[in-house]
């Protein structure tokens, strides 16, 4: 049963001047760039998005609803002021690629996992927009990170170390 960690970032939460660099769509990780961060900040249509406790709870409810709707097993959920982590597993009866652990991109099972991510992110954004009474305001950045969980040790590390540290960032963490 494939397990994945989804990560979705709040709109403009990871600027180009971040000390660890930034991700440029289609080009991957880039070195920190203060000049580009200043230019993009000055030309942005909206302020950076941040999720307070109320919005974090609303985001969690949206994810939990999509999990039930799609028949996915949710293992853990972390929502911070700047990003969301969803640790979930998927039964892959539609696997067409024959991969032993993680389906290849063209596989129907992998497409199901990606469709779940799109749906969860859309529902999270809609829930926040409804609560904040906004329209045409992005709450999440484009795309998301989809990380396959390699093995039981990796899974245990995420559950016991990585996700709990997000409490220090002002987040809410639930392990199911």
Q: Is the pTM of this model over 0.75?
A: yes
CA–CA dist 108, 97 (Å, integer):
8
pLDDT tens-digit profile of 86-131? 999 887 555 565 555 556 666 777 778 888 999 999 999 999 999 9
How far apart, in whole angstroms, are the C-alpha atoms of residue 104 and residue 96? 9
pLDDT tens, position by position, 59-77: 999 999 999 999 899 999 9
Domains in the chain: ranges and CATH: 3-12+49-175 (3.30.70.1290)
Q: How far apart are the first and last CA of the chain?
A: 17
CA-to-CA distance for 65 and 30, rounded, in angstroms? 35
Which residues lie closer than 8 Å to 175 by C-beta, 6 or more apart? 75, 76, 159, 163
For residue 43, what are its two tokens? 């030309």
- Whole-angstrom distance, CA of residue 3 vs CA of residue 53: 27
């Amino acid at each position: 049963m494939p397990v994945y960690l989804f990560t979705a970032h709040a709109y403009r939460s990871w600027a180009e001047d971040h000390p660890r660099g930034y991700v440029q769509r289609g080009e991957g990780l880039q070195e920190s760039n203060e000049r580009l961060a200043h230019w993009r900040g000055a030309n942005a249509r909206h302020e950076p998005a941040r999720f307070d406790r109320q919005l974090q709870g609303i985001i969690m409810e949206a994810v939990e609803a999509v999990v039930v709707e799609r028949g996915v097993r949710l293992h853990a959920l972390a929502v911070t002021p700047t990003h969301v982590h969803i640790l979930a597993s998927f039964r892959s009866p539609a696997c067409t690629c024959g991969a032993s652990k993680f389906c290849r991109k063209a596989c129907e099972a992998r497409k199901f996992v990606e469709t779940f991510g799109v749906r969860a992110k859309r529902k999270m954004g809609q829930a926040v927009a409804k609560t904040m009474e906004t329209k045409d305001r992005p709450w999440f950045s484009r795309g998301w990170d989809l990380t396959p969980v390699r093995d039981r040790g990796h899974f245990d590390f995420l559950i016991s170390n990585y996700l709990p540290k997000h409490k220090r960032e002002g987040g809410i963490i639930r392990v199911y």
